[in-house]
Amino acid sequence: MSRHRRLQLVRSGGQAPRPRPVLRKRTPRRPSRSRRLLEALLLLAAGCGVLVLLLLLPRAVDLDSLLLVSTAIGHLIDGITQLLLGLIQLLAVLLLVSLALLALVLLLGGLVRLVRALLPPPASATKPGPPPPTSPQPRRLGRSGQRL
């Protein structure tokens, strides 16, 4: 829709029509103070619960957490390295295939041009005949209306 106001019929009473409530911008309501306090306390309780769970994890499950983290990081680094090496090898194969296709296209184009150069031109192009008719040139007039 454009920003220009539309032309409207003049109504009796002299009042302009009110904008529809659908198009009015609504101001967002701010939640009450008690609701904001409740949300903050729930977030704090959930964070404390997760921290306590993490502190009790080594006792509940018998594993060395530092060894587990370092092993996981090592496997992650190895996986990323293998992924990058695989991508580099794939790009190298694509480059070789594209070079091979370019060589085939160049050879085919050169062969076609060589054959066209060695063959005699078609008979219709070398046949002597009358020159094609030319259309009459229109007369050119100068500014004063005289022929040039």
Local confidence pLDDT in tens for the 148 residues of the chain: 556 667 766 666 656 666 666 766 777 888 888 999 999 999 999 999 999 988 887 777 666 666 777 888 999 999 999 999 999 999 999 999 999 999 999 999 999 999 888 888 777 755 566 666 677 666 666 677 666 6
Taking the CA atoms of 44, 50, 54 and 59 in sequence, report the sign of the dihedral they define.
positive
Residue 132 DSSP class:
P
User: Rounded to whole angstroms, how far apart are CA atoms 93 and 86?
Assistant: 11
The alpha helices in the chain, defined as continuous H runs, are 33-60, 65-118, 123-126
User: Rounded to whole angstroms, how far apart are CA atoms 23 and 70?
Assistant: 57
